[in-house]
Structure 1
Amino acid sequence: MPTHKVFRLHSRTDFCAIKSHEEEMPTPDKHEVLIKVKSVSLNYRDVAVANGAYPFPVKDMVVPCSDACGEVVELGSAVKNVEKGDLVVCTFDPTNLYGPQKDWQNGLGGPVDGVLREHVAVPAAAVIKLPSGSDVSTASWASTVCTGVTAWNCLYGNIPLRPGQTVLLQGTGGVSMTALQIAKNAGATTIITSSSDKKLESVKKEFGVDHTINYKTADWAEEARRLTNGHGVDYIIENGGSGTIKQSLNAIAMGGNISVVGFLSAAAQEDMPDVAGLALSKGCVVRGITVGSTQLLEEAVRFFGSRKIGVPVDKVFGSSQEEVIKAFEYLTGGSHIGKVCISFEK
């Protein structure tokens, strides 16, 4: 039987426990496609899974990662929506075709095996064909799965962003940088925060963000209100969690939208803000984002394809065991602007 390279997490201690194996090639059933993986995109979720910090189910010896772009190389007998040779991506939770995610039992790279391998078989219904002739890299398309869909869900999954509104993005990670591109293309005014003046200068120069705030040297909520002439920000991509949600609620406009995406900055229990009271005082929406459905993935792919833009990628590593560990190290180092990816073509 033919074999292929598969990475598995041997213990939930840290990402150095990810090891390479040779395993039997998967065979798609009648409703599945077999994808030859070209690029895998990393998320902080993958680090949390590896070090035991992920608060949702993780199977033993899991194949990590949820985001891949690849080529269809084999079709199940009942598959009609794609063909051999198509470049595709697959939804984070293949059971979540539309609407809210039902539970945490089916996300790739956690409760079920993920995509950090040379070939993966997935349900055809959860696969989206990518535009032909696109100049967008496979690494960028891979990043659309979680980062692109999450950013799209923040701005269009509930109350759609309108031209002229203001979007504030916390940090320069993948979701923020992708939401920045979506917002700019939608005619919104954009504000980004970081503790690094160097990063802020780079984002302003390369991506055209309208305003920057160094949160180490300024009260960013107060500064955001000043930049909006006291109106406040219409949309906030909240990556910090409990440690920054109070500032977000101070910065948000009346009736605005806060999308809670991450938990990078946890507050001590005694410092937890009164989220309910603050949200009520602003009449705002505070909405948790759990990536998004196949429907949202299709919308995001259509948007990126039509605008000829992609999720920003900072660096791409190879697929040897040493390179995979280096990719995780680079991600946790925090110097990146955009996504960190692994290529199975290098």
Structure 2
Amino acid sequence: MSSHTVLRHTTRDSWKNIQTFVEPRPIVGKHEVLIKVRSVSLNYRDVAIATSQYPFPVKDNVVPGSDAAGDIVEVGEGVTGFAKGDKVVAAFDPATLYGPMKTWQTGLGGPTDGVLREYITIPAQSVVKIPESSTLSYAQWASVICTGVTAWNALYGNVALKPGQTVLFQGTGGVSITGLVLAKAAGATTIITSSSDEKLAYVKEKYGVDHVINYKKAPDWAAEAQKITGGQGVDFILENGGSGTMKQSLEAIAYGGIISCIGFLSLASQDEMPDVALLALGKGAVVRGIMVGSKEMLENTVRFIGKQNLQIPVEKVFKFGRDDVIKALDFMTGGQHIGKICIDF
């Protein structure tokens, strides 16, 4: 029986304790495809899982990573529509084909084994073909799965973004920059926040963001957003901070706007918790939790990116292997990146 290399968390007190194993190569089921992984895109979720900070279920000895692009090397006997050699991406949650996710129990790299391994079997119904005409790298396509679909869900999963509306992105990580690329392509006015003038200048030059706010120099960034919009407020906010930034998000949002809760990077103390219910009521605003998205959303995101020939931002690529994966997660936690960090095989 053929074998392959697999990375696993045997303990979850640090990503530095990830271990390498040689295990039997998975056997493809009747309705599955066997994928040779070519690139994996990392997320802050991977750090949270490695350090026991992830607030949702994680299995023991989990294979980390949720976002993989690769080549089909074998198809199950009951599979139609896919063939050996197809370039594909796999959905974050293979069990959610459409509609909202119903549970956190089926996502890759947490409650089930993930993609930091050479081969993986996935139900064929949970796989999306990469457009044949695409010139994007495997790393770029892998970067669409979690961050791209999360951003798509934020912009289209409730009320669809319209050209001319304003979107504010917190920070310069993967979700924000990928969302910025999607929103610009859809004709939106964009605002991004950061504590670094250097990062803001780079994003303005590289990705064409319309407005920037340095929240260190302008701690009341909600007031700055209101000024930019002429007092109307922003229509969409991709809220990466959590409870620590929610009060200002509710101050910056337009009447009837949508705040999509994505991250928990900035937590408020109990006595500083905003009255979200009252503040949202006062604006008629929607505060919506984002659980990545369905396979249908992945299809829509892939189709949009392929049709528009959008360049998905990848900051740095490391090689597959225990030491390089540790270096990649070290780099991620350093917080200096703009865009995605990937592992190529």
Give me the TM-score of the superposition, normalised by structure 1: 0.99
For 1:1-346, list aligned pairs within 5 A.
1-218=1-218, 219-344=220-345
Matched residue SS, 1:315: strand
Query: What code does the residue aligned with 2:92 have?
Result: F
Aligned mates of 1:289, 1:310 — CA distance in 2? 24
Query: What code does the residue aligned with 1:106 have?
Result: T
Q: In the comparison of the two structures, how many residue pairs are matched?
A: 344
Query: What code does the residue aligned with 1:60 have?
Result: D
Q: Deviations over 1:237-290 (max 9, x none)?
A: 000000000000000000001000000001011110000000000001110000
Query: What code does the residue aligned with 1:250 have?
Result: E
Q: What is the Cα deviation at residue 311 of structure 1?
A: 2.4
Matched residue SS, 2:88: strand
Q: Deviations over 1:26-80 (max 9, x none)?
A: 0110010000000000001010100000111111110001000000000001111
Contact 1:57–1:105 (CA<8 Å) still a contact in 2?
yes
Gaps of 5+ in 2: none
Q: What is the Cα deviation at residue 21 of structure 1?
A: 1.1
**Identical positions, percent:** 62
Aligned mates of 2:13, 2:81 — CA distance in 1? 40
Q: Deviations over 1:164-211 (max 9, x none)?
A: 100000000000001101111111100000000000000000000000
Query: What code does the residue aligned with 2:80 have?
Result: K
Query: What code does the residue aligned with 2:139 have?
Result: A
Contact 1:149–1:296 (CA<8 Å) still a contact in 2?
yes
Aligned mates of 2:145, 2:41 — CA distance in 1? 9
When the two chains are superposed, the root-mean-square deviation of aligned CA atoms in Å is 0.6
Matched residue SS, 1:159: coil
Question: After the TM superposition, which segments of 4 or more aligned residues of structure 1 sit over 4 Å from their partners?
Answer: none
Aligned mates of 1:70, 1:15 — CA distance in 2? 24
Q: What is the Cα deviation at residue 81 of structure 1?
A: 2.3
Aligned mates of 2:104, 2:299 — CA distance in 1? 21
Aligned mates of 1:189, 1:306 — CA distance in 2? 21
Matched residue SS, 2:158: coil
Aligned mates of 2:16, 2:228 — CA distance in 1? 44
Aligned mates of 1:321, 1:11 — CA distance in 2? 15
Matched residue SS, 1:78: coil
Contact 1:242–1:265 (CA<8 Å) still a contact in 2?
yes
Contact 1:94–1:106 (CA<8 Å) still a contact in 2?
yes
Query: What code does the residue aligned with 2:287 have?
Result: V
Query: What code does the residue aligned with 1:131 have?
Result: P
Contact 1:141–1:310 (CA<8 Å) still a contact in 2?
no
Query: What code does the residue aligned with 1:244 have?
Result: T
Aligned mates of 2:55, 2:202 — CA distance in 1? 34
Q: What is the Cα deviation at residue 20 of structure 1?
A: 1.2
Aligned mates of 2:193, 2:81 — CA distance in 1? 41
Q: Deviations over 1:203-252 (max 9, x none)?
A: 00000000000001112100000000000000000000000000000000
Aligned mates of 2:58, 2:141 — CA distance in 1? 25
Matched residue SS, 1:334: coil
Query: What code does the residue aligned with 1:109 have?
Result: G
Aligned mates of 1:97, 1:132 — CA distance in 2? 23
Matched residue SS, 2:241: coil
Q: What is the Cα deviation at residue 82 of structure 1?
A: 1.3
Contact 1:174–1:311 (CA<8 Å) still a contact in 2?
no
Aligned mates of 1:123, 1:320 — CA distance in 2? 26
Query: What code does the residue aligned with 1:276 have?
Result: A
Aligned mates of 1:309, 1:4 — CA distance in 2? 34
Q: Deviations over 1:279-336 (max 9, x none)?
A: 0000011100000000000000000000111421100001121111000000111000
Gaps of 5+ in 1: none
